[in-house]
Amino acid sequence: MKLLRVGPPGAETPALLAPDSTIRDLSAHVRDIDGDALSPAGLAKLSAIDPANCPIIEGASRIGPCVVRPLNFVCIGLNYADHANEAGMAIPKEPIVFLKSLSAFCGPFDDVHMPPGAEKVDWEVELGIVIGTKARCVPEERSMEHVAGYCVINDVSERAYQAERGGTWDKGKGCDTFGPTGPWMVTRDEVADPQSLDLWCDVDGQRMQHGNTRTMIFGVRHLVSYVSQFITLYPGDLIATGTPPGVGLGKKPEPIFLRAGQVMQAGVQGLGEQRQLLVAS
């Protein structure tokens, strides 16, 4: 299934992307794409629904984040060896874990607002994991039982804030609108192998990033287990699994950073594509 949420911020309607590409209203069946809907029982209930029996949402003006605001928005740093190399950093021996502020969480087509004084805003397309059941200290062999599905995440970053103002990554990662999520969550049963998915990101139509999740240093199975040793994961929580090479910071001979008025388009194979306009705050 492809689950999504449509409508204005804070008033989104839970929906299903039907096989005929129509958006179908699920509000008669679930209150939202939240913990209840993402549980094994909730997903089983939704999978039994015939989309043809759900009303079509005509002319949806906005697609919101594919899940409700999570409790934890977890990110993994330097999880592709070639990205670590382009950043001039050592390949990590364990996953680098940080949290993205929930003020960054936004819809896949919402404008990205560049904070005042920002000069080094960068793109990072990532495979997102959506947690379906509470995960605390779970063994790797059972970690996938806690995954509801996958989505596209753009881990937008301000590199100067991240690396030049005290070395705290959160400063450059948690700015408002720096976490576009969606357009939809694809349930785990429809993704045969999360470690064989193409990812890409374009800026103004020019391909900047292209990679495949097979080159992750730490795969989905390991990441869910690893993060759960430190942070209890709850239904609806997100894990952004790291970005492939091609970020602006790593461009040669000089880094390339985003400017107001430019457009990012990021996608993951089978999970859809998102698009954001950069605007000055």
267 exposure class (CB count in 10 Å sphere: 0-12, 13-18, 19+): buried
Cis peptide before 253 (omega within 30 of 0): yes
Q: What are the residues whose beta carbons fall under 8 Å from the beta carbon of 263, sequence distance 6 or more?
A: 203, 204, 205, 275, 276, 277, 278
Q: Please tell me the pTM assigned to this model.
A: 0.96
* Co-location of 90 and 16 in the same domain: no
Are 152 and 228 found together in one domain? Answer: yes
User: Do 209 and 126 share a domain, yes or no?
Assistant: yes
Please indicate, yes or no, whether residues 115 and 41 belong to a single structural domain of this protein. no
Has residue 62 been placed in a domain?
A: no
pLDDT of res. 60: 78
199, β-bridge pairs: 211, 268
- Report the number of distinct structural domains present in the chain: 2
Length of the chain: 281
Q: 62-76, 120-134, 158-172, 183-197 — which is least confidently predicted?
A: 158-172
Q: Are residues 19 and 80 in the same domain?
A: no
Q: What CATH number did the domain enclosing 273 receive?
A: 3.90.850.10
Q: Which domain does 25 fall in, by range? A: 2-53
Residue 64 lies in a domain: no
Residue 164: predicted pLDDT: 85
Each residue's pLDDT tens digit, 187-238: 999 999 999 999 999 999 999 999 999 999 999 999 999 999 999 999 999 9
Per-residue pLDDT reduced to its tens digit, 247-275: 999 999 999 999 999 999 999 999 999 99
Residue 170 pLDDT grade (very low, low, confident, very high; cuts 50, 70, 90):
confident
Residues 6 or more apart in contact with residue 226 via CB below 8 angstroms = 94, 95, 97, 218
pLDDT digits (tens, 9 = 90+) for 4-16: 999 999 999 999 9
